[in-house]
Structure 1
Amino acid sequence: MRKTALALLIFSNLANASGTLMQEATYANAGTAGAGDGVYTETATAAYTNPATMSHMGESKTTVNTMILDLHMDYKPTDNNGSGSAHTIMPSVGIFHVTQLNEDVHLGLMFGSIGGTAVDYGNDWEGAIGLDEALVTAVQFNPALSFKVTEKVSVGIGAQLNYGILEVKTSGFETDMDGDFAWGFNAGAMYKEDNWSVGLSYRSKLEHEFDVDATTYDMTGPLGGTIEGQTGQVGTDLIFPTIVDLSVSYNINPQLALLSSVQFHKWSDYSETPIYNDAVNSRPLIPQGVTRDWDDVWKFALGTDYQLNANWALKAGFSYETSPQDDPTKQWVDLPVGEQYRYSVGASTHWDDVRIDMFYEFADLGSVDIDRNVARINGSFDGHIHFIGANITF
């Protein structure tokens, strides 16, 4: 069902294209739009992006990421008839802990949300046959180990255990809530000098397979007459793509650092959303598949970290993500995707031995045209997300 990977992210965090990921939930350096996260060592959260960073974090470090997102999506049909909008406010919490096992080995335990959202367009908009309401979310447990090869070089490896949750409602049917586990791995390497660092990391693809009970509504059939509500099973897939991250940091002076990251998201694996069902496949209430034909996505992030005085540091960052699909005839209402721009600011301070990082980010999801003549859906989606959060490290 077209809801799989649903509206944005987030999913994040992944996002995630990247709109399906919610990477904000796993930011290590809050306020830089993710720039330099693969080499940042001031918070334990960096172990999620690159496990090799743990070798440079000292004896022990624990970070709690907290965040609230405010999502807005608006649909405007070309004929101005059947518009729709969705507004969602969702919290997110993640816990990241790193501890030194011996002189050369660190252990990391990461747990938190990596993507998801909940939207409610209602049943009066033009795309109600594709989506009324949806809940999609995923949480992950990511244990990892890092190994110090030399004083400057470290490597790391970890396991990804994902749990995804899915529930959807359209004008033709609604599903029960269903969950599914998926497994993968991640790995990374880091080289650190006094004034600069570079890190390279990899996260494998995760694929969820859902089989949910669905109930169709009483409605008029395509040849006239009334179709009675029926129950059956509907199955579909949801993926989190392979991600490769290259991060660099450079200290211009003791107060100012430049941060950058380039990420590759292998969304070409998301060529289609397969849908298969048993009791309801004889009627055109549920499409038998949605062609995505997505391209791979590149994300470019640039940020700064400025130590204003002994008590405060200021952050700023910007990121741009390429579009996985520019053809309006291949967009669908569950996940309209295009170019994405993120603008972020933040500040950090200390309260005794506790580090506090605060940030605000605005994600501009742009305007995405959709032209699905078969479903008689023709218009454009406009979306944006406000993120506000704080990371606490001790």
Structure 2
Amino acid sequence: MNQLMRRRLISILCASGLLSASEQVMASAFQIWEQDGASIGNYHAGYAAAAADASTAFYNPAGITLIKNQQIVIGGAAVLPDIQYKGTVAINTINNFMPYYVTAQGGTFAFVPSLHYVAPLTDRMGFGFSVDVPFGAEVNYGSDTYLRYISTLATIKVVDVSPSLGFQVTDKASVGLGPDFQKMDLEFDQVAVLSDPTIGDPTDTKSINRASDTAWGYHLGGLYQFTPDTRVGLSYHSQVVHHLSKKSTFSGPLANELNNGEDFVSRATSNITLPPYTALSFYHRLNPKVALMASAIFTQWTTVKNIIMKNLAGIDQSELSGDITVVAPQSFRNSWNFSMGADYFVTDQMTLKGGVGYDQTPVRNAYRTVQLPDNNRIVIALGGHYQATKAIGIDLNWSHFFMNKAHVIPPTQVTGDQEGQTNGSVTGGADVFGGQVTWDIA
């Protein structure tokens, strides 16, 4: 194959890999609801109204006024996902679209930490502070199957630091607000190839792309108590616009051949908007033994139109280039999340929890890819709280996500002369184990 054609194919492979991976960023599956360890036990039912501990500073800062002493909450969630793709992969640079059957596991263990603090300032005003992860996930198919030519690794992590103030306006109504300062880190990788890797010299060349940014938004909320045992809460988290940039690297035999044995590096940029979401929650202490709660959360994913990536490392026509631009059209829909739960107060020290939920995906069937095999989920949750001492409480909780089988048969992905096809399905789910320690400071 002549040098000009080889260079064009390298350019296309590098760019198309970034295009595919970027779609994963904006999925509802990356929206994490567990910003503490306790609410996992009832799948965050009532989270904008319960105000059970200092985590209300993030969920609904109006609830800060119900915490009458200093309190620190340290929590975390261990996520064990199961994401398995079964189907075919066909690339036109490998035997002209010959389909290869693939079974690949993409689930990876993750730990999601959280920290919350609340302190009353006056009888009617309180301060809150939270550090948590509202968005984050990882899908890692590895490099052992032909799926590596579509995607190997895609990760997103958003750390949110948010101080808050809560104000009691009347004996029944409270409001709260605060800024959100976010640090966002992304990585999207794949492998480029020029010919069948099982024949002749291997040409597998890695495309590794990282980006990061800091940005800010805000959150606010209101809480109304009809009685001491019944209340409703409404909270809102704004969209956050991230202007990301960092290193894009194309490394391996194809890059080295054209760049005197060196990797080709540039500074890629992209703008990504994390969507706003609104939560309406209800909490009711039915009797001394039972409390009921529910939440409905609406996420405005349609604020995302296109993802445009600029200054990518690659080869443009016959020359090395670091200014390749790729436009990835999106077609997300707004999504809903519903949850219902209950607490059963066994004794003054022991509380049992339970809940169920439904999480709707924003991904439309026609746009589902192996990088974004998201689908609707049903959730069950169980857990408990133990008040070890007057000051120390401990929570241990579990939830399981049942994801509907997701068919992955998107249109042929075309970028110049490079075309890739997948035809298969993804099955999966996840177990989430949560823990929390609550310390009431006298």
Give the aligned length: 381
Q: CA deviation at 1:393?
A: 0.8
Aligned to 1:114: 134
SS of residue matched to 2:175 = strand
Aligned to 1:267: 301
Q: Distance in 1 between matches of 2:325 and 2:343?
A: 49
Amino acid at match of 2:73: T
Q: CA deviation at 1:351?
A: 0.9
SS of residue matched to 2:51 = coil
Of stretches 182-191 and 77-86 in structure 1, the one that deviates more from structure 2 is: 77-86
Q: Distance in 2 between matches of 1:301 and 1:97?
A: 25
Aligned to 2:380: 343
Greater relative contact order, per chain length (Cα 8 Å cut-off, separation 6+): 2
User: Which residue of 81, 103, 110 maps to 2:123?
Assistant: 103
User: Which residue of 39, 45, 53 maps to 1:29?
Assistant: 39
- Taking a change above 3 Å as real, the CA distance of residues 315 and 44 of structure 1, as seen in their structure-2 partners, is same
Aligned to 1:75: 85
Aligned to 1:380: 425
- Taking a change above 3 Å as real, the CA distance of residues 311 and 21 of structure 1, as seen in their structure-2 partners, is same
Amino acid at match of 2:208: T
Amino acid at match of 2:136: G
Aligned to 1:134: 154
- 1:287-323 per-residue CA deviation (whole Å, 9 max, x = no partner) reads 8233220000011110011112232111111111223
8 Å Cα contact 1:83-1:126 kept in structure 2: no
Does residue 1:303 correspond to 2:341, yes or no? yes
Does residue 1:62 correspond to 2:107, yes or no? no
Q: CA deviation at 1:281?
A: 6.2
- Taking a change above 3 Å as real, the CA distance of residues 4 and 46 of structure 1, as seen in their structure-2 partners, is farther
Which protein is richer in helix relative to its size?
2
8 Å Cα contact 1:155-1:189 kept in structure 2: yes
Q: Which structure has the greater CA radius of gyration?
A: 2
Does residue 1:196 correspond to 2:226, yes or no? no
SS of residue matched to 1:36 = coil
Q: Distance in 2 between matches of 1:333 and 1:177?
A: 20
1:1-394 aligned at under 5 Å gives the runs 1=18, 2-4=20-22, 6=24, 17-26=27-36, 29-77=39-87, 81-172=101-192, 173-175=206-208, 177-192=210-225, 193-218=227-252, 230-280=264-314, 282=316, 288-328=326-366, 330-352=367-389, 353-372=391-410, 373-374=412-413, 375-394=420-439
Q: Distance in 2 between matches of 1:128 and 1:215?
A: 16
SS of residue matched to 1:170 = strand
Aligned to 2:91: none
- 1:331-362 per-residue CA deviation (whole Å, 9 max, x = no partner) reads 23322222122211010111112111210011
Amino acid at match of 1:163: K
Aligned to 2:198: none
Q: Distance in 1 between matches of 2:211 and 2:268?
A: 11
8 Å Cα contact 1:27-1:45 kept in structure 2: no
Amino acid at match of 1:210: L
Residue ranges of structure 2 left out of the alignment (5+ in a row): 1-17, 89-98, 193-205, 414-419
Q: CA deviation at 1:5?
A: 7.0
Q: CA deviation at 1:110?
A: 0.4
- 1:161-210 per-residue CA deviation (whole Å, 9 max, x = no partner) reads 00011222201343354421010000000011222110001000112222
Q: Distance in 2 between matches of 1:40 and 1:3?
A: 38
- Taking a change above 3 Å as real, the CA distance of residues 220 and 91 of structure 1, as seen in their structure-2 partners, is closer
- 1:6-29 per-residue CA deviation (whole Å, 9 max, x = no partner) reads 47xxxxxxxx94311121233653
Q: Distance in 2 between matches of 1:235 and 1:130?
A: 21
Q: Distance in 2 between matches of 1:241 and 1:296?
A: 10
Q: CA deviation at 1:131?
A: 1.7
Identity of aligned residues (%): 23
8 Å Cα contact 1:256-1:307 kept in structure 2: yes
- Taking a change above 3 Å as real, the CA distance of residues 125 and 271 of structure 1, as seen in their structure-2 partners, is farther
Q: Distance in 2 between matches of 1:27 and 1:341?
A: 20
Amino acid at match of 1:348: H
Q: Distance in 2 between matches of 1:160 and 1:349?
A: 31
8 Å Cα contact 1:323-1:339 kept in structure 2: yes
- Taking a change above 3 Å as real, the CA distance of residues 364 and 227 of structure 1, as seen in their structure-2 partners, is farther
8 Å Cα contact 2:331-2:364 kept in structure 1: no
Amino acid at match of 1:341: I
Aligned to 1:10: none
Q: CA deviation at 1:272?
A: 2.9
TM-score, normalization by structure 1: 0.89
What RMSD in Å do the two structures reach over aligned CA positions?
Answer: 2.5
Which consecutive segments of 4 or more residues in structure 1 shift more than 6 A? none
SS of residue matched to 1:337 = coil
Q: Distance in 1 between matches of 2:385 and 2:150?
A: 43
8 Å Cα contact 1:210-1:236 kept in structure 2: yes
Aligned to 1:12: none
Amino acid at match of 1:123: S
SS of residue matched to 1:63 = strand
TM-score, normalization by structure 2: 0.80
Q: Distance in 2 between matches of 1:259 and 1:4?
A: 37
Q: Distance in 2 between matches of 1:347 and 1:48?
A: 22
- Taking a change above 3 Å as real, the CA distance of residues 20 and 5 of structure 1, as seen in their structure-2 partners, is farther
8 Å Cα contact 1:147-1:154 kept in structure 2: yes
- Taking a change above 3 Å as real, the CA distance of residues 259 and 364 of structure 1, as seen in their structure-2 partners, is same
Aligned to 1:11: none
